[in-house]
Amino acid sequence: MNKKEYEALREKAGKFKYSSFTYSEYVNQGLYVLKEDDEDGIVLYGYNKEYRMNEIQYAFNYEKKILEASKKYKSSLIQFIPADLRDDMKKIGCTEYGYMCEYWADDLDKCPKADSYEIGYIKDSKVFSDITKSCTYESREFRGEEEKFVKEWILGTDPFLKENDNGKSDVICYKEDGIIKGVVFVAIYESEKSDSKILWIRELAVDKSYQHKGIGRKLLLMAFKYGEENKANKSFLMADELNEHAIKLYESLGFRKNGEYQLDFITSED
């Protein structure tokens, strides 16, 4: 499937009531196989390199079709499941993989900020990658980042950023005695609903050896300063509902859950 065909399929998927295509990208799903494409729905199936497992991309008008696809395609990731199917997915043997909730700080002016911040250099990409990997599965879906992704994020060439016209991306790092102990991946993008700019905190990671020392908080204050200097009015991040320690930190700095979520499952093995 070429990129033009994929974009046409994604546009078609957007016309269905339920779809996992919203944030999909050709660079990740372009090699998937089209299993179903008719008036009942769409199923695209393939190996997700980031998650290191097979994945079902779907678009349906009826919830029962999501359950049917989940039964048919075994041991596979299926994302953006409607919340009212949460119990039904478990009843058919699927395992909950993550329940990511949106958190927003709606007035960045009111958030506390560091006096300054330090932007990471591309030469330290391997260090940044290793720090994220030291935090693997501290949140259910967090697996750490490859060095290639880190470089693309710093250079602003990450395919998702380019596809969604995000204007600026950086890695902010926290150092003590010349040692990089934590990182926060940030981006600035334009709001679709207004002329305001949004600070996206994609991920926060503190080296496992230096956790519980307040470094995560310091990194977020640096991120807020970065957002202020780049004229951002709001800030956004995602957090797994089970990551209570992180959520407590976010809420202490002004983030509040807004009701939007991403519910993901792994389908049954048999």
Taking the chain (270 residues) in consecutive chunks of 10 residues, what is each chunk's mean pLDDT? 91 96 84 95 93 94 97 96 96 95 95 97 97 90 90 87 74 96 95 82 96 96 97 95 93 94 93
3-state helix, strand, coil in the chain (%, to 5): 35, 35, 35
Domains contained in the chain, CATH given: 3-93 (no CATH), 103-260 (3.40.630.30)
pTM: 0.85
**Across-strand partners of 101?**
239, 261
Distance of CA 264 to the CA centre of its chain: 12
DSSP for 5-54 reads HHHHHHHHHTTSSEES-TT--HHHHTT-EEEEEETTEEEEEEEETTTTEE
**pLDDT value, residue 22:** 84
Cα gap 265→252, rounded to integer Å: 30
Q: What is the per-residue pLDDT for 50?
A: 79
Q: Which secondary-structure segment (H or E) carries 262?
A: strand 256-266
Q: CB atoms < 10 A from the CB of 47, how many?
A: 12
Return d(Cα 196, Cα 138) in angstroms, integer.
32
* DSSP for 75-102, written as a single string: SEEE----GGGHHHHHHTT-EEEEEEEE
**What is the pLDDT, as a whole number, of residue 44?**
97
C-alpha dist (Å) from residue 171 to 47, 58, 81, 91, 229: 28, 33, 31, 41, 15
- Please count the residues of the chain: 270
Write down the pLDDT at residue 164: 59
The greatest distance separating any two alpha carbons of the chain, rounded to the nearest whole angstrom, comes to 61
- Distance, CA of 227 to CA of 215 (rounded, Å): 18
- With CA atoms as reference, report the closest residue to 216 among 176, 186, 178, 184: 184
* Pairwise CA distance, residues 40 & 206, whole Å: 45
Q: What is the pLDDT of residue 195?
A: 75
